[in-house]
């Protein structure tokens, strides 16, 4: 391996070097081929991953749990009700205790600082399975999916249409790290976090990429190689749903919008999709969509992450 990542936390793509991102993607490619060929590969035999879920999940739980099984290890599901965090135990004490039992921790939660604190006090690697600020595992899987279809990342234009949320933030970090031209197109008042924008632009200056923030979807998708979208109201924002429907009404990814992009544009969504809101059935099920390839690749990329850090 070109880079030793053993024991490393994965909190944000911004924290990774380009070489580390490339190593994750290369390892995912190897592991995906092994799995498709039916090869048994157990580098994590005898190891256990603790999976803390304070936010519910379909893809994150199944892909991490199946991934650990395929790597020869064991995954332990820990819901919010299973831990003493709900009864006032500190993140620091939880980290110190879990580190005595586990070989790695994956956490999917609301407050990003909880993941940072968990990693600070844990002696085993911590993987960010999602926070309100970032979703790095999803975007590493997305980079892998794009590279499978286009055989490169450098110079591609990725346009994200929608809320400047955790997906927008991690796409900015991931695209900037790999020399992509990332456009975040959001209505006024829903732009990405200014500090994430600043940091991703720093990464982009080193890689030759660019980060652009704008609010016109039709203009944004011109010459786009990839169009990406996400739900308009994320988990925990359900009470804002009706308000957001109005704010985002012109930001739907539909057939008329993608006609303005490259002829072979890829359409992506991290799922779950609210069909008929941020994306139409004909697009998500259409020839440009690689949505379900993305979902599958969560398994292969997360296996790569676990095999590299645990």
Is 137 considered catalytic here?
Answer: no
> Helix or strand or coil: residue 240?
helix
State the catalytic residue, choosing from 14, 59, 108, 300: 108
State the catalytic residue, choosing from 103, 142, 203, 230: 230
Alpha carbons 153 and 143: distance in angstroms, whole number: 7
Return the structure tokens found at 146: 């794009």
State the catalytic residue, choosing from 70, 298, 300, 302: 298
State the catalytic residue, choosing from 135, 169, 288, 300: 135
Is 96 considered catalytic here?
Answer: no
State the catalytic residue, choosing from 112, 225, 270, 294: 270
Alpha carbons 128 and 79: distance in angstroms, whole number: 15
Burial letters 194-233, b for 16+ CB under 10 A, else e: eebbebbbebbeebebbbebebebeebbeebbbbbbbbbb
> Which is it for the CA torsion 35, 17, 126, 272, positive or negative?
negative
Is 298 considered catalytic here?
Answer: yes
Question: DSSP secondary structure string, 242-268?
Answer: HHHHHHTTT--B-HHHHTTS-TT-EEE
State the catalytic residue, choosing from 54, 70, 138, 252: 138
Is 288 considered catalytic here?
Answer: no
Is 237 considered catalytic here?
Answer: no
Alpha carbons 252 and 248: distance in angstroms, whole number: 7
The residues that are catalytic are 108, 135, 138, 230, 270, 298
């Amino acid at each position: 391996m070109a880079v030793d990542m053993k024991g490393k936390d994965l909190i944000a793509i911004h924290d990774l070097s380009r070489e580390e991102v490339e190593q994750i993607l290369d390892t995912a490619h190897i592991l995906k081929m092994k799995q498709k060929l039916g090869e048994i590969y157990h580098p994590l035999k005898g190891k256990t991953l603790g999976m803390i879920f304070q936010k519910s999940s379909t893809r994150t739980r199944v892909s991490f749990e199946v991934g650990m099984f395929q790597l020869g290890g064991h995954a332990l599901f820990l819901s919010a009700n299973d831990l003493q965090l709900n009864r006032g135990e500190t993140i620091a004490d939880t980290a110190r205790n879990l580190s005595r039992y586990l070989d790695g921790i994956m956490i999917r939660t609301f407050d990003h600082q909880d993941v940072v604190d968990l990693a600070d006090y844990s002696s085993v690697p911590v993987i960010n399975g999602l926070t309100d600020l970032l979703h790095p595992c999803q975007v590493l899987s997305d980079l892998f999916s794009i590279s499978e279809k286009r055989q490169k990342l450098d110079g591609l234009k990725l346009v994200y249409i929608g809320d400047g949320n955790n997906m927008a933030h991690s796409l900015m970090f991931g695209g900037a790290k790999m020399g992509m031209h990332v456009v975040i197109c959001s209505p006024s008042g829903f732009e990405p976090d200014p500090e994430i924008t600043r940091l991703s632009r720093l990464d982009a200056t080193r890689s030759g990429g660019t980060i652009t923030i704008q609010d016109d979807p039709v203009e944004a998708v011109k010459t786009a190689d990839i169009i990406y979208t996400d739900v308009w109201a994320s988990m925990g924002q359900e009470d804002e749903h009706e308000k957001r429907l109005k704010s985002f009404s012109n930001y739907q990814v539909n057939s008329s919008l993608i006609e303005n992009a490259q002829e072979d544009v890829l359409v992506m969504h991290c799922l779950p999709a609210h069909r008929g809101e941020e994306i139409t059935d004909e697009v998500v099920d259409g020839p440009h969509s690689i949505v379900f390839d993305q979902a599958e690749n969560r398994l292969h990329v997360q296996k790569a992450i676990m095999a590299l850090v645990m």
